[in-house]
Amino acid sequence: MCGIVGYIGRSEALPVLMDGLRRLEYRGYDSSGVAILNGGSLAVRKAVGRIANLAELIQSEPVHGQVGISHTRWATHGGVTHENAHPHLDQSGHLSLVHNGVIENYQKLREQLTERSHVFQSQTDTEVLAHLVGEAFDRSERRDKAALVEAVREALRQVIGTYGIAVLHADVPGILVGARRGSPLVLGIGKNEHFLASDVSAIVAHTRDVVYLNDYEIVAIQDDRFEISTVSGSGADFQISKVEFSAEAVDKGRFPHYMLKEIYEQPNSVRDAMRGRLSAEEATAKLGGLEMTNADLRSVDRIVLSGCGTAFHAALAGEYLIESLAHIPVECEFASEFRYRNLPLDRDTLVFVISQSGETADTLAALRESQRKGHRTLGICNNVASTIARESDGGVYMHAGPEIGVAATKSFTSQLVILTLLGLLLGRIRHLSHAEGRTIISEMEKLPDLIARTIELDKQIEKIAKKYARAENFLFMGRQANYPIALEGALKLKEISYISASGYPSAELKHGVIALINEETPSLFIAPQDAVFDQNVSNIEEVKARKGPVIAIGTEGDTALAKICDDVILIPHAPDYLTPILAVLPLQLLAYHIAATLGCDVDKPRNLAKSVTVE
Ligand code: F6R
């Protein structure tokens, strides 16, 4: 949600900033801007809309310099206008600042600054912060690095809220200052150059040596050095990490969209989620990151899974998986509700928060609320450097690689795999025999191949997508663990194609939803050959009796569905606990092709941003 890139070094800053912004555009795409210092002169360029608009502007009004900051915005305070686009200036016009996060007390600060004759150009909370830093700097008698860092510190002590910022000042041209609280910021270390970014993918083409800043840390960078301190003024310990993935991992490669690339990556991402975690010898899963002994795990008598959006759907599927494999009751909580609900958490309840980005504000709040109650809380995260990964008391990484498409795809299947591993581990400590454990492991090992075979249905699914792309309403239905898959299919479709879509347990149809059925409203049923196949068929008949078109996801070899449905997609056979992982793939592809057919911006759907770092 919003992206920041900063550069200081001996090369031109603009190409680095623009490349970084393009890589971060999935974070927000309401407006973008750059501020570049050339000696003592500051140039700012901003444009509403996509980065392409900014690039066009810069072509007609070029800027040069070796120090710069930039931003791509997802609007929170203030509409999508040129004035509200970052970077913002202070009262003197010499200081420029970009910001991710929300300054909660900005109204009060703005009133106080206005009383001191400050004039604001925008409605944003960020401009208030720029003025505060500028005012503190102007009060100082010195014009040097220490004075700018101190001014940032002084301003940040006055704000309530979250921030990831980058600041430069025309009077101190050889320095950039960054700071974070609640919004990620990473320092990239190069040779005679340094970078700041809200997400490592923006700078990985230039360096893989990075420092992930902690909350309340301030970094001052020059071309050949950096210094990290804290908002309170003390020094800070830091660690230089190596970024695990390469610049190619954040490129689209041969695919027209990141989403399609990421759908196709699932044989590998699922393999990576299982790698080293299946023990054939002990017929169980090994999840060392939980940092719990078998005795600890044996005393667990209830599990709470929490997350948002797609991660919440994974939690819902996890409820079925864990209950069926381990016979432990599971409860799912929207992370956005967790902290307001005062959920009873008994000593033997195990709490997991699930988040691809590891930065979702609501999920982070759920983690903190659970920990505040003194409860050990675990994370299932993809981004290893994220706040949730760092703050949780243990957990399991997804190892899915960077997910850039705003619609979550590969992270979802990785989450399902991890929840299945958890079910196996907990089940083996309880009632599952060695032989049963071995069977589950050998079925899981087949998954990457089954996923690859399912993705081969792409062409058939594209044809079906074209047939139904003009529908205004879509229904998705499934039973048991495939009900959350129906919810996920509906979410994928609505978020990238803007078609209204809802997911239901198949049998709920007759309790109200059936009123929506008509010749124009397609219903997609997930109806594999499982214990509830016949019940699903009855529900399909109910739709057909009312002339509703039906697309069914069935199991290879099925002949019954083709007799009653308009279109049938047959996926490979797998045990019930693995079928959801296969069943979601056609739904991801269907949503993708419908959106592409309608000409929607698949990777950057309107109003959305990857990683929602505000409440
Ligand atoms: C849907 C989607 C969102 C995210 C949700 C949680 O395609 O991407 O619903 O799943 O915002 O994000 P993470 O997993 O990063 O916490």
* pLDDT, averaged in runs of 10, over the chain (615 residues): 92 96 80 93 94 94 96 84 94 96 94 97 95 97 94 97 96 96 93 95 94 95 96 91 82 92 97 96 96 94 96 98 97 93 88 95 95 94 90 95 93 98 97 97 98 98 97 96 98 96 93 90 97 95 95 98 97 97 98 97 78 68
304-337: b or e for each residue (b if 16 or more CB lie within 10 Å)? bbbbbbbbbbbbbbbbbbbeebbebebebbbbbe
Q: Which two tokens stand for residue 323?
A: 């209950």
Q: What was the pLDDT predicted at 562?
A: 97
Q: How far is the CA of 199 from the centre of ligand 1 (A)?
A: 16
Q: How far is the CA of 284 from the centre of ligand 1 (A)?
A: 29
Q: What ligand 1 atom has the least distance to the C-alpha of 610?
A: 8
Q: What was the pLDDT predicted at 24?
A: 84
Q: What was the pLDDT predicted at 220?
A: 97
3-class secondary-structure state, position 567: strand
What is the widest separation between alpha-carbon atoms in the chain? 84
Contact between residue 6 and residue 178 where contact means Cβ atoms under 8 Å apart: yes
Q: What ligand 1 atom has the least distance to the C-alpha of 611?
A: 15
Q: Is the CB of 355 under 6 A from ligand 1?
A: yes
Q: How far is the CA of 548 from the centre of ligand 1 (A)?
A: 31
Q: How far is the CA of 309 from the centre of ligand 1 (A)?
A: 5
Cis geometry, peptide bond prior to residue 87 (ω within 30 degrees of 0): yes
Q: Is the CB of 613 under 6 A from ligand 1?
A: no
- Residue bearing the CA closest to ligand 1, atom 6: 308
Q: What was the pLDDT predicted at 183?
A: 87
For CA atoms 554, 556, 561, 565, the dihedral sign is positive
Q: How many CB atoms lie within 10 A of CB 277?
A: 22
Q: What was the pLDDT predicted at 565?
A: 97
Q: How far is the CA of 114 from the centre of ligand 1 (A)?
A: 39
**Long-range contact set of residues 571-576: C-beta below 8 Å, sequence gap at least 24:** 571/450, 571/454, 571/457, 571/528, 572/450, 572/453, 572/454, 573/528, 573/529, 574/443, 574/446, 574/447, 574/450, 575/440, 575/443, 576/324, 576/480, 576/481, 576/530, 576/531
Q: Which amino acid, 272?
A: D
- Which of 305, 356, 492 most suits a substitution to test ligand 1, by most atoms within 8 Å of the C-beta? 356
Q: Has 2 been annotated as catalytic?
A: yes
Q: Is the CB of 356 under 6 A from ligand 1?
A: yes
Q: Is the CB of 403 under 6 A from ligand 1?
A: no
> Active site residue: 46, 261, 492, 610, which one?
610
Q: How far is the CA of 593 from the centre of ligand 1 (A)?
A: 20
Q: Is the CB of 360 under 6 A from ligand 1?
A: yes
Q: What was the pLDDT predicted at 614?
A: 64
Closest listed residue to residue 70, CA positions, set 24, 121, 116, 30? 24
Q: Is the CB of 383 under 6 A from ligand 1?
A: no
Q: Has 410 been annotated as catalytic?
A: no
Q: What ligand 1 atom has the least distance to the C-alpha of 360?
A: 16
What are the tens digits of pLDDT across the range 496-541?
999 999 999 998 988 988 888 999 999 999 999 999 999 999 999 9
- Residue bearing the CA closest to ligand 1, atom 10: 310
Q: How far is the CA of 504 from the centre of ligand 1 (A)?
A: 20
Phi first, then psi: give them for residue 294, nearest 5 degrees.
Answer: -60, -35
- Which of 357, 384, 392, 406 most suits a substitution to test ligand 1, by most atoms within 8 Å of the C-beta? 357
Determine what percent of the chain is predicted with pLDDT higher than 90: 84
Q: What was the pLDDT predicted at 271?
A: 97
Q: What was the pLDDT predicted at 80?
A: 87
Closest listed residue to residue 308, CA positions, set 361, 258, 256, 231? 361
**Which residues are registered as beta bridge partners of 5?**
70, 197
Give dist(CA 580, CA 582) in Å, integer.
5
Q: Is the CB of 588 under 6 A from ligand 1?
A: no
Q: Is the CB of 612 under 6 A from ligand 1?
A: yes
CA distances to 296, 370, 373, 377, 571 from 347, rounded to whole Å, are 11, 12, 11, 12, 42
Q: What was the pLDDT predicted at 610?
A: 66
Q: Is the CB of 366 under 6 A from ligand 1?
A: no
Q: What was the pLDDT predicted at 509?
A: 87
DSSP 104-130: TTHHHHHHHHHHTT---SSS-HHHHHH
